[in-house]
Amino acid sequence: MKLFAFSLIALTAVMSALAVEGSKPAYEPDEFFRTQILPILQTRCYECHSREHEVEGELFLDSKLGWETGGENGPAVKPGDLKNSPLIQAIRHLDSDSAMPPKKKLPPIEIALLETWVLLGAPDPRTLPTKQ
């Protein structure tokens, strides 16, 4: 319960940091993705969900098409909808079967950032990585 409260506080902090100032958004969606979200995916998820490493659960998280297509359970993210985004349910570690990353839960701030990203409509400027 304590952790959940902290996560909510972190989420509120992130949301207010992104608050709209006048008519001009105080953040740029692609920039938000690149600076806040991409590093989390790269360090926490790519080792099992990217072309460069391995692919588990048929889910690619190294492109927008990857999470749009999703894995066995369909799209991993439903933009704007936390409840129906398997990725969000997984990082909340609600049950041990679907908990992601499998071993260690992400720090609350990273969960809050990913939740914020989904609530913002999941902006993701990445195209499919080209093969080297």
115: its two tokens: 């939740």
| Minimum CB distance to ligand HEC, residue 1 (Å) | 23
Q: Which of 30, 35, 36, 29 is CA-nearest to residue 11?
A: 36
Integer-rounded Cα Rg, in Å, for the chain is: 15
Q: Is 95 left (phi over 0), alpha (psi -120 to 50) or beta?
A: beta
The yes or no reply on residue 84 touching ligand HEC (CB under 6 A) is: no
- Of the two residues 3 and 22, which places its CB atom closer to ligand HEC in the complex? 3
- Binding string, residues 97-126; x marks residues near ligand HEC by CB under 6 A: -x-xxx---x--------------------
By the criterion CB under 6 A, which residues form the site for ligand HEC? 44-45, 47-49, 56-57, 59, 70-73, 76, 86-87, 90-91, 98, 100-102, 106
